[in-house]
Amino acid sequence: MAAPVSGIDLLFEDDHLIALVKPAGLPTANAAPGEESVFTLLRRRLGQKAFVGIVSRLDAPVSGVVVVAKTSAAAASLSAQFRARTVAKAYAAVVAGRFPAAVGTWVDWHDAVARREGERASVLHPASAARENGGDDAPRAAHVRARVVRRAGEVSLVELEPSTGRRHQLRLQLAARGCPIVGDRLYGSRLPCRAGGVALHATRLTVAHPADERAMVFESPCAAAWKDVFPSLFPGRERG
């Protein structure tokens, strides 16, 4: 594994792309003036004239694996993969409330998610409302497979595999089913996330390498802070 750079852990780097672990609280891009983001940190590291292609994003309070292109050709290839839904994604979340399925049982949620410019929260619609064409605020299809890995009192550890990547999609889909992500006050959580941000982490991302199309799997387990804050959800965690 490559050495950490400016608070970001690098998982992989070559002439075409960088895979890294974004910490909670750091925007992927488009930070307010004077604030840092993944984009600004990589631009500083690579040089102001370097190409830094943000091909996918995680919300600022969300942590986990992000892939960034280092050339325009790599950006085009990776962006096309995300649009075609050939990128495999996995997340872990700690949620409050009662997940609507038995432990270990996968469920599929098909919805539509809409966003309005200038509004903080996205809005969930029935899957039938999804539109392929329309304005920027048109409902878009949103699909995820989800299952509970473990329950402990009022919280559960959930595994999520979305095939789409709508704004706030997982946060909204979980909250709509009565199990908001811990720390996500925007979508109704009453429990704070003492590990920082919200308890949602991108654990795995699989893409085809832009140069030779070989499968690249980038992984990041949940932060140690999660295991300290939610010890009953992570049995076997050794304390130092």
**Beta-carbon count within 10 A of 3 CB:** 6
Q: Is 59 among the residues known to form the active site?
A: yes
Burial of 64 (0-12, 13-18, 19+ CB in 10 A): buried
What are 181's strand-pairing partners? 95
Determine the Cα–Cα distance for residues 212 and 21; give it in Å rounded to an integer: 24
Long-range contacts from 163-169, C-beta under 8 angstroms, 24+ separation: 163/85, 163/89, 164/85, 164/140, 165/56, 165/82, 165/89, 166/113, 166/115, 166/122, 166/140, 166/142, 167/113, 167/115, 167/122, 168/59, 168/113, 168/115, 168/121, 168/122, 169/113, 169/122, 169/142, 169/144
CB-side neighbour CA atoms (13 Å) of 14: 7
Rounded CA gap, 99 and 180, in Å? 9
Question: How far are the Cα atoms of 104, 108, 152, 208 from residue 16, in angstroms, in the given order?
Answer: 38, 34, 43, 12
Q: Which residue in the list 15, 59, 184, 212 is annotated as catalytic?
A: 59
The residues that are catalytic are 59
